[in-house]
Amino acid sequence: MISLQNLRKWLNERLDWDDLIAFSREKAVPLHRLSYWYFLGGITLFLFVIQVLTGILLLLYYRPGANEAFESVQYIMTQVQFGWLIRSIHSWSANLMIFFAFAHMFSVLFLKAYRKPRELTWVSGVILLFLVMGFGFSGYLLPWNTLAFFATKVGTDIAGQVPGIGKPVMIFLRGGEEVTGATLTRFFGFHVAILPGLMTLVIFVHLLLVQRTGISVPPKVEMEWKANPNAKREMKFFPNFLLRELMAWYVALGALGVLAAILPWNLGTKADPFSSAPAGIKPEWYFLFMFQTLKLIPAKVWFIDGEVVGVLLFAGIGMLWLLLPFFESDDPSCTKRWITGLAVFALAYMAGMSLYGQLAK
């Protein structure tokens, strides 16, 4: 007779995973008034899984290629049973995932979870954020509509502004000098093969590191608990925290359903490379703050081109962002206040600029 117990024994004799099971039994999540923030990472991961699943389904009908892409998406939206649902969920979940990735990053920043020994977790996380934005940029082009075409043109133009390597990078991204069907094919390759592969790898590293270092605790709480060990509160991950995460994921599912049914993602008009760009073209919201900043930089700063200054500025900030943990102190009682200040400024700046970019003509 095969019972769960016997099955476990059978598998253990071959996989020898008793210590792993024991570890997962022991895995605990610290409990304090800021513990709610711990959900954000899991939600991001859940949304990524949704993306992979809906993406694979879309792959069954989507055709990359300038003369077929738009029509195939139209086909999915109108002819395929529940195609509208799958596609709208994919588009909405993409945006939600990027939002939650940013939220997760900021929560880690404010809770100072990047301190020793979790520096590498932070670095892998920032890399994940860049990959996620790459997903957004490459995926946006795939329906081959007017907005996407010109947003890609502008975006890759900006990438080409970097002195020295900019032009080769732009040609690499575009698959040529201009945005053409070759760009579409290339972006498709990035979006369904290269980026998913890299992403899976880095997620694996990120999660492994989280398991190894455990869940971090904010500095104040850390000090409290060091002074008073009895005050320490924890919750088992399996099944208690996981059940609560499941609730959050179901809420996310419900939200996605509502968005897909009430606000279906629109198709737009097929891209025509020979027509002129529509007025007021702007990128998706997650690039707006950078785009708006570039628009505000004067045409020439000193003797350097304004856009080059902007691009280099963001590149530099990106590098610093990656290395942020290495500026922080190990002692929870004297964490660097300027990093918190920087985090507040960054959040305010990004939110403000995005709003400005959205409302500006």
Partner 1 sequence: MTLAKTDPDRENPSDPRSPSLARRRFAEILLGSGFLVTAVAFVYPVLRYLIPPKASDLGSDSVLAGRVGELKPNSGKIFRFGSRPGLLVRTARGEYRAMSAICTHLSCTVQYRQDLHEVWCACHNGLYDLNGRNISGPPPRPLETFEVQVSGEDIYVRRRRET
Partner 2 sequence: MDSWQNRSLRRTNNCGRAQSKPWRKRRQADAVLAAELLPTGTARATSVVFCFVVFLLFLSPPSYAQTKDSCLDCHSALPDPLGVSREKFGSDIHKQRGLTCSSCHGGDPTNDDPDKAMSRQAGWKGKIDRKQVPALCGRCHSDPSFMRQFNPTLRTDQLSQYETSVHGKRLAAGDTRVAVCTDCHSVHDLRVPSDPASTVNPLNVANTCARCHADPNYMSGYKIPTNQFAEYNKSVHYQAQVVRGDMSAPTCPTCHGNHGATPPGLASVTNVCSTCHVFQAQLFDSSPHKEPFVSAGLPGCVTCHGNHGIVHPTDAFIGTGSQAVCTECHTEGDIGYAIAAKINQQLVQLTTAIGGAEQILDSAERSGMEVSEAKLDLGQAKDALIKARVTIHGFNLNRVEADIKPGLESAAKDYDAGRKALAERNYRRLGLGVSLVAIALVLVGLRMYIKQIEG
Contact residues: partner 2, CB under 8 A: 74, 77-79, 84-85, 88, 239-240, 243-244, 246-247, 250-251, 253-254, 257-258, 260-262, 264, 266
Distance in angstroms (rounded) separating the CA atoms of residues 191 and 297: 31
Q: Which of 10, 17, 23, 82 binds partner 1 (CB under 8 A)?
A: 82
Distance in angstroms (rounded) separating the CA atoms of residues 255 and 249: 10
In whole angstroms, the minimum distance from the beta carbon of 255 to partner 1 comes to 14
In whole angstroms, the minimum distance from the beta carbon of 78 to partner 1 comes to 9
Q: Which stretch binds partner 1 (CB under 8 A): 83-91, 97-105, 281-289, 336-344?
A: 83-91
Residue 77 binds which entry of partner 1, partner 2, none, with Cβ cut-offs from 5 to 8 Å by kind? partner 2
Residue (242 or 343) nearer to partner 2, CB: 242
Are 256 and 92 in contact, with CB atoms under 8 Å apart?
yes
In whole angstroms, the minimum distance from the beta carbon of 244 to partner 1 comes to 7
Question: Per the structure block, which two tokens stand in for 112?
Answer: 């100072």
In whole angstroms, the minimum distance from the beta carbon of 212 to partner 1 comes to 23
Binding mask 20-59 for partner 1 (x = CB under 8 A): -----------x---x---------------------x--
Q: Which stretch binds partner 1 (CB under 8 A): 12-20, 189-197, 201-209, 245-253?
A: 245-253
Binding mask 247-286 for partner 1 (x = CB under 8 A): x--x--x---------------------------------
**Using CA atoms in the order 265, 268, 270, 275, what is the torsion angle rounded to 10 degrees?**
-140
In whole angstroms, the minimum distance from the beta carbon of 88 to partner 2 comes to 8
For the chain, the residue count is 361
Taken in order 68, 72, 73, 79, is the CA torsion positive or negative? positive
Least Cα distance to 218 among 107, 119, 344, 342 occurs for: 107
Question: Per the structure block, which two tokens stand in for 33?
Answer: 């008034």
Q: Which of 6, 12, 24, 79 binds partner 1 (CB under 8 A)?
A: 79
Query: Is residue 233 within the footprint of partner 1 (CB under 8 A)?
Result: yes
Q: Which stretch binds partner 1 (CB under 8 A): 1-9, 78-86, 144-152, 340-348?
A: 78-86
Distance in angstroms (rounded) separating the CA atoms of residues 79 and 307: 44
Please list, in sequence order, all residues whose beta carbon lies within 8 angstroms of the beta carbon of residue 185, skipping any fewer than 6 positions away.
64, 65, 175
Identify the bridge partners of residue 29 per DSSP, sorted by sequence position. Answer: 235
Please list, in sequence order, all residues whose beta carbon lies within 8 angstroms of the beta carbon of residue 348, skipping any fewer than 6 positions away.
none
Three-class HEC string of 246-267: HHHHHHHHHHHHHHHHHCCCCC
Residue 67 binds which entry of partner 1, partner 2, none, with Cβ cut-offs from 5 to 8 Å by kind? partner 1
Q: Which of 55, 64, 83, 160 binds partner 1 (CB under 8 A)?
A: 83
DSSP, res 301 = E
In whole angstroms, the minimum distance from the beta carbon of 243 to partner 2 comes to 5
Distances (CA, A) of 272 to 68, 211, 307: 13, 49, 27
Where on the chain is the footprint of partner 1 (CB under 8 A)? 31, 35, 57, 60, 63, 67-68, 71-72, 75, 79-83, 85-86, 233-236, 240, 244, 247, 250, 253
